[in-house]
Amino acid sequence: MLLDALTLQLGYNAVLVTLGATALGVAAGTVGAFLYLRKRALVSDAISHATLPGLALAFLVAVALGGDGRALPLLMAGSALSAWAGLWCVGKLTRATRLSEDAAIGAVLSVFFGFGIVLLTVIQSLSAGRQAGLESFLLGATAGMLRADALVIAVGGALVLLAALALRRPFLMTAFDEGYARVQGIDTARLDLVLMTLVMAVTVVGLKIVGLILIVALLIIPAVAARFWSNHAPRVVLLSGLAGGLSGYLGAALSATAPDLPTGPIIVLIAFGLFALSLLAAPGRGVLAAALRHRRLQHRVHLRQGLLALAHGQPVYEALTRRMLRGAGLMRADGVPTDKGRAEAARVLLDESRWQALRRAEGLASLAARDDGLTRIDTILTPDQLADLDARMSLQEVR
């Protein structure tokens, strides 16, 4: 059954949900990467929570006009207007008061969300309209999704993605050097507003699938996961979009095999799984890579210290160092260095003497700052510089 879901063979509704969730995930991951690089991740939380009053008010307006209140485009429009109001309040509080942006976000988030919950409570007491299940927009619900709903989500996600890609250069320039971006003629304040608009669009588009509470995770988690894999900003954006799309695809497919489980939380859990994998296994910044680098560094330090001890005719007392020297074939079990060990010890001692002489050499002393106790000097100096340094060392020995 899972294979059928992954290959889009589990029915029309399941295919709609999966494709819609994938489009949403790609858009959310891409926009979220720019938001994360701009260090404005918390703003997405305020935007998502600020959509709830608009959702409820749109339902009430539709019911007052004689409708059932469940038309997705109308609910999305109300959510968008409410999110805009929340953004305006955050900006106004930040500019007109001494509140920091995070304090303003906290205030707006709590007030708007509380107002939305009150409106939902009022709606549940109404006899008009199809209010049943309206609270599912908090966590997302895909049961009974119509073709029109899926098209709205897919088209909305595609438009947001295209807008984000079209503005990728100014977004990245502003994220890394706002002053330089201004010199280049970019209105960074307006560009930030555009970015927040894209975040709002992703939030509104994702109401049906992920819900307004969990959409924050789909915006931020893929970007954080992608950051573990690359230091190149465009590549981070690409990987974030792929991670978001994969989370949406796998989450929707899994939820199709378990209809009793909500789609939104499963998508978020898949995204977290990708984050955990990145945290552990990323080759540059992952936990395992860091542990391996530490182990290799520890191995090099122990070997060098052990070889220096052998070079000076001193015993090696550290058990770990002795094991490493024996494992590398540099020392016998009785503590006597092998021929290979003597040659390597002599090389390390010469290297150490050269570094000491380099600190006293005129014209070359600045290069001594690159001595970290492990770097071989012949990787820093040219053969001519080494020959000159050896000549100076020989002259000093004669004196």
Question: What domains, with CATH codes, occur in the chain?
Answer: 2-282 (1.10.3470.10), 288-398 (no CATH)
> CA-CA distance, 148 to 131, in Å (whole number)?
20
For residue 45, give the nearest of 289, 212, 277 by alpha carbon.
212
Could you tell me which residues come within 8 angstroms of residue 43 by beta carbon, excluding any fewer than 6 positions away? Answer: 35, 87, 90, 101, 105, 196, 199
Residue 331, SS3 per DSSP: strand
pLDDT, residue 278, reads 93
- Under 8 Å between Cβ of 112 and 118: no
User: Would the pLDDT of 12 be above 70?
Assistant: no
Whether the CA torsion 297, 298, 300, 304 is positive or negative: it is positive
Q: Apex CA 96: angle with CA 92 and CA 102, to 5°?
A: 65
> CA-CA distance, 351 to 336, in Å (whole number)?
22
Question: Which tokens in the block code for residue 208?
Answer: 């049906």
Tens of pLDDT, residue by residue over 158-215, are: 888 899 989 889 998 888 888 888 888 888 888 888 888 888 888 888 777 777 777 8
pLDDT, residue 273, reads 93
- Under 8 Å between Cβ of 58 and 74: yes
> CA-CA distance, 50 to 45, in Å (whole number)?
8
The more confident residue out of 152 and 232 is: 232
pTM (predicted TM-score) = 0.77
Task: Determine whether 26 is exposed, middle or buried from the number of CB atoms within 10 Å of its CB (0-12, 13-18, 19+).
Answer: buried
